[in-house]
C-alpha cells in the first residue's frame, strides 16, 4: 500500500501519516527525515543534497526522487509506505510517477486532508511553544495550566514566527500555487481521496481507515 499525504501546512497530515504508518506497520517516509539521515551518514546522495542546501538552493527534483527511491527500496518498505512532504509540485509528481512506472509500481492512494485556510490560520496562531524545553501547547485545545507559562519547565511560552498569521497566510499561498494542482493530478489518476480535516483527529483517522480498508 503506497500512500501520499496531501494537505496544507497545519492541516494535520503529518500526524495522520504517523498514525496510518503505525496501524498498517509500514514506514512513515518524511522527505525532511531522509535528507537529514543521508547528510548525517555522509552518503553520496546526501553530499550532493548538502551542496545545494549549503548554497541556500532547493534540492533538484531528480535528486530528491533519487534519495526517496533509495529509501523506499529498503526492506521495510516492501509492503508499502506513507509519503509525507513529497511530492510538493507537479514536476516532482511526474518524476516520481515515471520512476515508479519503471519499477512496475504506482501510488495506491493520495489522501487529501482538507481544511479551509481560515481554520488553519486560527489553529496555527493558537500554538504556543517553550523555547527552553521544546514543549508545545494550544491556547484552545492543549492550554498550559498557567497562561503563558510552560507546565514542564516554567519558562515563558511564545508564538513562533512560523505560526504568526501573516507567515501562515504566506505559506498557504505557496501551497495553493504549487501543491494544490497535485489534487487534480491524482484525481485524474483515480487515486485521490479527500477527508474533512476540520473534524476531531480520531474521526479524521477513522475516515482514512474506512478508505484504506
Q: Provide the pLDDT confidence category of residue 179 given band limits of 50, 70 and 90.
A: confident
pLDDT value of position 138: 93
Residue 189: active-site member: no
| 3-state SS assignment for residue 213 | coil
For residue 121, give every residue at least 6 positions away whose Cβ sits within 8 Å of its Cβ, in sequence order, or none: 165, 168, 169, 172
Residue 127: active-site member: yes
Write the pLDDT tens digit of every residue in 64-97: 988 998 899 899 999 999 999 889 889 899 989 9
Model pTM score: 0.82
Residue 2: active-site member: no
Nearest of 162, 25, 6 to residue 16 by alpha carbon? 6
β-strand partners of 29: 83
- In the chain, what are the domains? 2-115+174-212 (3.40.50.300)
Residue 171: active-site member: yes
Write the pLDDT tens digit of every residue in 94-118: 989 998 999 899 999 999 999 999 9
Residue 71: active-site member: no
Options 2, 13, 71, 123, the catalytic residue = 13
Options 88, 122, 164, 193, the catalytic residue = 88
DSSP codes of every residue in 130-197: ETTT--EEETTTB--SBTTB-TTT-PBEE--GGGSHHHHHHHHHHHHHHTHHHHHHHHHTT-EEEEET
Amino acid at each position: 500500500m503506497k500512500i501520499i499525504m496531501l494537505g496544507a501546512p497545519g492541516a494535520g497530515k503529518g500526524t495522520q501519516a504517523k498514525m496510518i504508518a503505525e496501524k498498517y506497520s509500514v514506514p512513515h517516509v518524511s522527505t525532511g527525515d531522509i535528507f537529514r539521515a543521508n547528510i548525517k551518514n555522509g552518503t553520496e546522495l546526501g553530499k550532493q543534497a548538502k551542496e545545494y542546501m549549503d548554497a541556500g538552493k532547493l534540492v533538484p527534483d531528480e535528486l530528491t526522487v533519487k534519495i526517496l527511491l533509495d529509501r523506499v527500496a529498503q526492506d521495510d518498505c516492501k509492503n508499502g509506505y506513507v509519503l509525507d512532504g513529497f511530492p510538493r509540485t507537479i514536476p516532482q509528481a511526474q518524476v516520481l510517477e515515471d520512476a515508479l512506472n519503471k519499477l512496475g509500481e504506482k501510488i495506491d492512494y493520495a489522501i487529501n486532508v482538507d481544511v479551509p485556510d481560515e481554520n488553519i490560520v486560527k489553529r496555527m496562531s493558537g500554538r504556543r511553544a517553550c523555547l527552553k524545553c521544546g514543549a508545545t501547547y494550544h491556547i484552545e485545545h492543549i492550554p498550559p495550566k498557567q497562561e503563558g507559562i510552560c507546565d514542564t519547565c516554567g519558562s515563558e511560552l511564545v508564538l513562533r514566527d512560523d505560526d504568526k498569521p501573516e507567515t501562515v497566510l504566506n505559506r498557504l499561498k505557496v501551497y495553493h500555487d504549487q501543491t494544490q494542482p497535485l489534487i487534480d493530478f491524482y484525481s485524474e489518476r483515480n487515486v485521490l481521496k479527500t477527508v474533512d480535516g476540520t473534524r476531531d483527529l480520531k474521526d479524521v483517522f477513522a475516515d482514512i481507515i474506512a478508505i484504506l480498508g
